[in-house]
A and B are shown apart, each in its own frame.
Chain A
Amino acid sequence: MSGGVDSAVAAARAVEAGHDVVGVHLALSRAGGTLRTGSRGCCTIEDALDARRAADLLGIPFYVWDFSERFREDVIADFVSEYQAGRTPNPCMRCNEKIKFAALLERAIELGFDAVCTGHYATLIPTDAGLELHRAADNAKDQSYVLGVLTAEQLAHTYFPLGTTPSKAVVRAEAAERGLTVAQKPDSHDICFIPDGDTRGWLAEKVGTATGEIVDRTGEIVGTHEGAHAFTVGQRRGLKLGVPAADGKPRFVLEVRPVSNTVVVGPKEALAIRELSGERFSWAGAGPVDPEFDCEVQIRAHAEPEIARAYVTSEGVRVVPEQPLNGVAPGQTAVLYVGTRVLGQFTIDRTVSAVPVDA
């Protein structure tokens, strides 16, 4: 129970469904702030208090469990090292993979619980082949993307009571009806451990700054920057290029080279990717029957899914979208859908540009 409205209502529904429910708030930061401001941050003392008051109202026991050390190692350190490697990580996904449905679930099972129940918007559908993970009924709130990393074993010990709810407004109304004080609490959006939302500033503090070159695809220097880690593929803002492009068109980050601390920029067309692949993959439930299949690929939490063909080989998963994709950055997670079903995911290691680089 994060202290937000979703987990409070999820807990309420679990209680009502007759489960023996215990509320757990994860303390993920040791130096948490005291009060919350708007949609930023989490793990504040106020959030823990809100979660406790929701549990009080539901009449369930409530505990705060400290996973801050695991979170620091598995999520925050990973986030920093991924950026340092020129990749674009998704810390929420990592948290689901390593903390909520791993460290917490493991402890819960040890302590005698059957499952972890969360306020995520996603649906689990039982089939003969086991549980399937599907998108939520409310497309606007769907969080199946960040759960794409869960495995069959994890799904078997998971409940998402909010997945079938038609909209967040219904959840808020239900919270208000139940007298939960968090009914109107703003949603969290930013990365929870960067409470001011300034990812670039936060990273600069963690890894320091170092002046490097911004080059175009021909290798010509068109500007400088204060650290390649602050850039992500597809980024346009914040480049501050001194030399305008010959064609006068805006330029975008095409590639981040952490070893040489270089950022490569170019026109929007050069962002188009015709193929992406990755070695690290998992299946959310039963895997694909055929090594080659039609699917949709989604590369960010709020990106549109794109029609694609997937190929599973001994080296990993390769995906060829029907139309080239823009803004694909190594480190991002590609989640594969078949209809509303999440089939699985891979971390993008390699992309192939749709436009030859020497253009």
Chain B
Amino acid sequence: MQHYLDHAATTPLRPEAREAWLDASAIVGNASSTHGAGQDARRLLEESRERSAAVLGCDPIEVVFTSGGTESINLALQGLWQARPAGTDAIVMPDAEHHATMDTVEALVGAGATLRAVPVSRTGAIDLDAFSAQLAGAALATALIANNESGTLNEAATLASSAEVAQVPLHLDAVSALGHVPLSFRDLRGDAADAVGLVAMSIAGHKIGAPVGVGALVVSRTARLTALLRGGAQQRGLRAGTQDVAGAAAFAIALELAELERETESIRLSEMRDRLVEGILARVPAAEVLGDRVRRLPGNAHILFPGAVGESLLFLLDMAGIAASTGSACQAGVAEPSHVVMAMGRSEQDARSVLRFSLGRTSTDEDVDAVLASIAEAYARASGSGSAARS
């Protein structure tokens, strides 16, 4: 029996999204064509955009479909940077962002931007005062709503209002938050003046049961943003390229279902997660929960196993049919020591000893039981092995 506890990496495709995709894929026609076939495709595309906008609390014109979270974040950050107000060159970025953000900002720093870093707390929460203090005169700011590793939630409304006060354009990375916390672009944006405050928000389909390969950047109508991809006037000229009608249709239904289930699922997943965490702590007394105990994603358990080699833990759990994650970026299958864990004030050694369990729509009590049945022995073995024991 396989136990999948890595929903934060990607969560199973919803049957309804699959159906919607298959139905839409049968439609012949480029949504930009003017003939009847094109119009049929366009109709489904725009319906999907409207349904998505209704869930996201924005206007349909503000939904720019992309290939996923990474593209959305790149479009937001590079686009805002290219169109930045004259005389500005600073980017405000907290220390525990996703690599899609960090690596993009690093590239922009290489192109002349200056970085204004914002520390996170020991629980991984963005220091809101420091964030606010860094904003004055910045070209743009960016922040995660929910941390993909620690699961810690940030005060999106506070981040947005401080950007509004400072008159700085803000991008929020809502990839991990989507489907788990209430998100209304309109409410978060508030009464901010044109092109400042919250202007862009990234989301990805496969985190909520849509297919991999579809996502969106919500872009306020007044945002000043330059396109990354050129070659067509699709989607306000912000994202050239033939539009993915089937992906949009699948994304729309997944968004609706995720929002419909959000409150009940949050309760269900939180309860399961709490049982998982308490069970692990009872079986591995040395273990420590990272992230905020209360303000965190419902399905996220981010746990430090002191002295254990993370990759050995993953291996042993995998052999027991349990899929978990270190949560951090991989290159060719090697997990890097997590920059998020280190930004939370932990050592590099600790950063290699952390596992993230993430629950989702298909998670069951049996999944939790499976982890609890295996974790004590896995910890004993993984902490006795070579490299950890030596150093």
Point out residues on A near B: beta carbons under 8 Å: 22, 25, 27, 32, 45, 48-49, 52, 61-67, 69-70, 102-104, 106-107, 110-112
Contacts and interface: CB of A to CB of B under 8 A. Distances in A.
Classify the interface of chain B: helix, strand, loop or mixed: helix
A106 to B, nearest CB: 4
Given A61-B319, A64-B334, 12 more contacts: A27-B333, A27-B334, A48-B332, A52-B333, A61-B318, A64-B333, A65-B334, A66-B335, A107-B309, A107-B386, A110-B384, A111-B316
Given A63-B315, A69-B387, A106-B386, A112 B381 contact: yes
A45 to B, nearest CB: 4
Contacts of B382: 110-111
A112 B311 CA distance: 15
A163 B48 CA distance: 62
Interface in B342-387: 381-382, 384-387
A67 B312 CA distance: 12
28 contacts: A27-B333, A27-B334, A45-B332, A48-B332, A48-B333, A52-B333, A63-B315, A64-B332, A64-B333, A64-B334, A65-B334, A66-B334, A66-B335, A67-B387, A69-B387, A69-B391, A70-B386, A70-B387, A70-B390, A102-B386, A103-B387, A104-B386, A110-B381, A110-B384, A110-B386, A111-B385, A112-B316, A112-B381
B264 interface: no
Contacts of A103: 386-387, 390
B311 A63 contact: yes
A32 B331 CA distance: 10
Q: Which 6 A-B pairs have the closest CB atoms?
A: A64-B333, A110-B385, A106-B386, A48-B332, A107-B385, A107-B386
A48 B335 CA distance: 13
Interface in B172-194: none
Interface residues of B, number: 21
Contacts of B311: 63-66
Nearest to A102: B386
Nearest to B311: A65
Contacts of A106: 385-386
Contacts of B312: 107, 110-111
Given A48-B333, A63-B311, A64-B334, A111 B387 contact: no
Contacts of B319: 61
A280 B314 CA distance: 38
A107 B387 contact: yes
Interface in B319-335: 319, 331-335
B200 to A, nearest CB: 31
B333 A63 contact: yes
Contacts of B390: 70, 103
A111 B315 contact: yes
Nearest to A66: B334
Contacts of B386: 70, 102-104, 106-107, 110
Contacts of A61: 318-319
Contacts of B384: 110
Contacts of B335: 66
Nearest to B385: A110
A103 B389 CA distance: 11
Contacts of B333: 25, 27, 48, 52, 62-64
A95 to B, nearest CB: 15
Nearest to A63: B315
Nearest to B314: A63
Interface in B272-320: 309, 311-312, 314-316, 318-319
Which one of A61, A62, A110 has the highest number of Cβ atoms from chain B below 10 Å of its Cβ? A110
Contacts of A32: 332
Contacts of B381: 110-112
A49 B385 CA distance: 26
Contacts of A63: 311, 314-315, 333
A242 to B, nearest CB: 46
Contacts of A67: 387
Which of A49, A65, A112 has its CB near the most chain B CB atoms (within 10 A)?
A65
Given A61-B318, A63-B311, A45 B385 contact: no
Contacts of B387: 67, 69-70, 103, 107
A61 B309 CA distance: 19
Nearest to B335: A66
Contacts of A62: 333
A104 B387 CA distance: 9
A4 to B, nearest CB: 15
B98 to A, nearest CB: 21
A67 B390 CA distance: 12
B225 to A, nearest CB: 32
Contacts of A69: 387, 391
Interface in B78-130: none
B347 to A, nearest CB: 13
B325 to A, nearest CB: 13
Contacts of B318: 61
A61 B319 CA distance: 9
Contacts of A110: 312, 381-382, 384-386
Contacts of A102: 386
